[in-house]
C-alpha cells in the first residue's frame, strides 16, 4: 500500500497537509453542509482536516489516542480558499430556519391577499392603521466601544454596573408616522397578579383605545399584531368588535419581514437607549436603575420614533404604499440563491482517459481494467493505478468525515436530558378577526369551564365515598410522610 500511495502522488503538486483528493472530499463535505442550511464555521475547518489525517492509519471509528498528529497551521484555511474558489468565508446572522425567505413565501403572499382587501376599503385611512408589538430592553447592559485612551493604558475593560433586568414595552405606531404612549411592564419580584391575556386587554382598553378613538371618529381602526394567542383572547376580540377595531393577525415566523415595528423602529430604539445609558454613565450615574429608565427610555423613543423612521418601516413592510414586491423580492432571492453543485462524472471509465471514480460502480470498472493489465505495467496501467489511489484517498477521507458526523449525531440522539420550555401560544396563518371567531372562542371557553366544574364535582364526590378504613389508611400515610420532617427538625 505504501508503494501505491507513493505512485499516486503527483510530483508537480507541492507537499500539502491534505492530498488534492482529500481536499476535494473536504470541500464536497463543506458544500453539502451549506446546501443543507448548516454552513460550517471556519474555525472547524482545521479540525476536520486533522480528523482526515488521523483516520489515515485507522480502520475503526475510534482512532488511537496515543497517535500524535501535527495539526494544520493557522493560515491553512486561507490556502483552501485559494485552491478552491467555490468556497468563500462570509459572516452570517443567525435566524430560525423557519423564518427564512424560502420557507415563508407562501405565508407572505397569503398575508398580502388578506391585508390588501382590508386596506383597499375607502373607510380605512392610513391615520387609523396601527401596528403594536412588544420589545424587551435590558436595563443597563452596554456594548464594547472603540475609545480613546493613553498609549500607556493597558486596561482591556471599562467599568460599569451590569444589570440584566429585562423591561418589556408595548409600542404602537401608525401608518401616518405617529406613535402612541407605551405600556411599560416591569418584571415582578413576587408572584404575578396579572396574566399576559389581562395585560393585552388592559393595553387595548386603557392605552390604545383612548389615544385613537377621537382621531378615528366614526371610521374603523385597523390594528395589526403578531400571532401570539394573548392578543386574541375572547375579551380582547369582544372589545375590538364592539369598538370597530379590526384585529389583523400576522402569520407566524414572518414578523421580522412584515411587522413595521420589527422592521424599522425597534432596532434604532435599542441603539438610542444604549446611547442614553452611555451618556448617563459618563455623567457619573453609577447604577442605572428603575428610576432612571423612564427618563432615558423617553429620550430614546423621541430619537428613534421619528415620522421618517415610522413611515420607512411601513414602506419596507410593503403596506404603505402597498407594494408586496418589497417583501417578496427578498423571499424570491432566498429561493433563487445559487446552489452549489458537484459535477457528476460519466457513468463509464474510458480506457484512454482515466477519470477519478466517484461511485462504487466506477471503482469496480477501473479495478477490472487494472486486473487485466497486471502482467504488463505500461504507462496506461500506471495512470490507472494513480487514479485508483486518488479514489481510495478520497473515499477514506469522506469516510472519516462521515464517521465523525455519525459519532456526533449518536451522542445527540442518546442525550437523556430533556429541555422543556413553555412559551406563548403561536397561531399560524394570517387572518382578520371576525364575529365568528368570537363565537368560536366563547364555545371553547364554555367547554373549558364545564370540564373544570365536572372535575371539581368528581373530586368532591370521591372524597365523600371514602370509607373509615380508607380514611384511616390515608391519615397513616400522611403521618409517615410528615414524621421524618419532624425528626430532622
Q: How crowded is residue 385: how many other Cβ atoms within 10 Å of its Cβ?
A: 19
Instruction: Answer whether 387's CB lies under 8 Å from 366's CB.
Output: yes
Instruction: Answer whether 130's CB lies under 8 Å from 224's CB.
Output: yes
Give the Cα separation of 230 and 223 in Å (integer).
15
Q: Model confidence over 57-105: pLDDT tens digits?
A: 665 656 666 677 888 988 898 888 889 999 988 887 766 656 666 677 8
Q: Is 380 exposed, middle or buried (0-12, 13-18, 19+ CB in 10 A)?
A: middle
Give the Cα separation of 400 and 80 in Å (integer).
19
User: How do strand 221-225 and strand 129-140 relate by DSSP bridges?
Assistant: parallel
Give the Cα separation of 246 and 307 in Å (integer).
24
Residues forming beta bridges with residue 133, ordered by sequence position: 171
Which pLDDT band holds residue 351 (cuts at 50, 70, 90)?
Answer: very low
Average pLDDT value for residue range 205-212: 95
Give the Cα separation of 235 and 232 in Å (integer).
8
Cis peptide, bond prior to residue 321, ω within 30 of zero = yes
Q: Model confidence over 172-181: pLDDT tens digits?
A: 999 999 999 9
Which of 417 and 387 is assigned the larger pLDDT?
387
Query: Where do the domains of the chain lie?
Result: 20-83, 104-142+162-331
Res. 419: pLDDT tops 60: no
End-to-end alpha carbon distance in the chain: 75
- Classify domain 104-142+162-331 at the CATH class level: alpha beta
Which segments of 211-363 are extended strands (E)? 221-225, 245-249
Q: Model confidence over 96-154: pLDDT tens digits?
A: 656 666 677 888 888 999 999 999 999 999 999 999 999 988 887 666 666 676 777 77
Q: Give the single-character DSSP code of 204.
A: I
| 360 grid coordinates | 462504487
pLDDT at 117: 93
Instruction: Answer whether 203's CB lies under 8 Å from 175's CB.
Output: no
Q: Model confidence over 94-103: pLDDT tens digits?
A: 666 566 666 7
- Please give the model's pTM, rounded to 2 decimal places: 0.63
Res. 347: pLDDT tops 70: no
Q: Model confidence over 186-204: pLDDT tens digits?
A: 876 554 555 677 888 899 9
- In 3-state terms, the chain is what percent helix, strand and coil (to 5)? 55, 10, 35
Average pLDDT value for residue range 4-22: 60
Positive or negative torsion for Cα 358, 364, 366, 370: positive
Block residue for cell numbers 488534492:
20
Average pLDDT value for residue range 29-34: 86
Average pLDDT value for residue range 337-356: 46
Helices (H), 120-233: 196-203, 209-216
Amino acid at each position: 500500500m505504501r508503494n501505491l500511495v507513493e505512485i499516486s502522488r503527483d510530483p508537480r503538486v507541492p507537499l500539502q497537509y491534505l492530498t488534492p483528493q482529500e481536499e476535494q472530499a473536504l470541500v464536497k463535505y463543506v458544500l453539502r453542509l451549506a446546501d443543507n442550511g448548516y454552513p460550517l464555521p471556519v474555525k472547524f475547518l482545521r479540525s476536520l482536516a486533522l480528523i482526515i489525517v488521523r483516520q489515515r492509519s485507522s480502520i475503526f471509528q475510534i482512532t488511537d489516542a496515543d497517535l500524535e498528529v501535527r495539526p494544520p497551521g493557522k493560515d491553512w484555511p486561507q490556502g483552501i480558499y485559494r485552491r478552491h474558489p467555490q468556497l468563500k468565508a462570509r459572516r452570517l446572522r443567525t435566524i430560525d430556519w423557519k423564518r427564512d425567505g424560502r420557507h415563508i413565501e407562501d405565508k407572505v403572499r397569503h398575508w398580502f391577499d388578506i391585508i390588501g382587501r382590508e386596506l383597499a376599503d375607502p373607510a380605512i385611512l392610513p391615520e387609523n392603521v396601527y401596528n403594536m408589538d412588544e420589545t424587551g430592553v435590558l436595563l443597563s447592559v452596554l456594548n464594547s466601544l472603540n475609545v480613546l485612551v493613553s498609549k500607556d493604558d493597558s486596561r482591556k475593560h471599562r467599568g460599569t454596573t451590569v444589570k440584566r433586568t429585562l423591561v418589556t414595552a408595548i409600542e404602537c405606531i401608525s401608518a401616518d408616522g405617529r406613535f402612541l404612549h407605551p405600556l411599560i411592564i416591569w418584571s415582578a419580584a413576587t408572584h404575578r397578579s396579572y396574566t399576559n391575556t389581562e395585560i393585552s386587554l388592559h393595553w387595548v382598553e386603557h392605552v390604545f383605545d383612548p389615544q385613537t378613538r377621537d382621531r378615528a371618529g366614526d371610521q374603523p381602526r385597523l390594528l395589526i399584531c403578531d400571532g401570539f394567542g394573548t392578543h386574541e383572547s375572547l375579551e380582547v376580540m369582544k372589545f375590538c368588535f364592539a369598538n370597530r377595531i379590526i384585529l389583523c393577525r400576522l402569520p407566524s415566523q414572518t414578523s421580522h419581514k412584515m411587522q413595521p415595528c420589527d422592521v424599522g423602529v425597534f432596532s434604532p430604539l435599542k441603539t438610542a437607549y444604549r446611547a442614553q445609558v452611555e451618556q448617563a454613565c459618563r455623567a457619573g450615574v453609577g447604577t442605572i436603575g428603575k428610576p432612571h429608565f423612564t427618563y432615558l427610555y423617553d429620550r430614546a423613543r423621541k430619537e428613534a420614533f421619528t415620522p421618517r423612521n415610522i413611515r420607512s418601516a411601513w414602506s419596507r413592510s410593503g403596506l404603505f404604499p402597498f407594494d408586496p414586491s418589497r417583501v417578496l423580492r427578498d423571499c424570491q432571492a432566498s429561493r433563487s440563491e445559487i446552489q452549489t453543485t458537484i459535477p457528476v462524472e460519466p457513468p463509464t471509465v474510458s480506457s484512454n482517459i482515466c477519470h477519478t471514480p466517484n461511485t462504487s460502480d466506477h471503482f469496480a470498472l477501473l479495478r477490472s481494467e487494472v486486473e487485466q493489465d497486471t502482467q504488463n505495467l505500461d504507462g496506461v496501467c500506471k495512470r490507472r493505478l494513480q487514479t485508483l489511489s486518488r479514489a481510495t484517498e478520497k473515499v477514506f477521507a469522506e469516510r472519516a468525515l462521515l464517521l465523525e458526523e455519525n459519532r456526533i449525531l449518536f451522542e445527540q440522539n442518546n442525550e437523556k436530558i430533556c429541555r422543556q420550555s413553555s412559551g406563548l401560544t403561536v397561531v399560524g396563518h394570517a387572518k382578520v378577526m371576525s364575529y365568528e371567531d368570537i363565537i368560536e372562542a366563547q364555545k371553547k371557553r364554555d367547554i373549558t369551564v364545564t370540564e373544570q366544574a365536572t372535575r371539581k364535582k368528581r373530586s368532591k364526590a370521591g372524597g365523600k365515598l371514602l370509607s373509615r378504613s380508607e380514611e384511616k389508611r390515608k391519615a397513616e400515610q400522611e403521618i409517615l410522610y410528615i414524621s421524618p420532617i419532624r425528626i430532622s427538625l
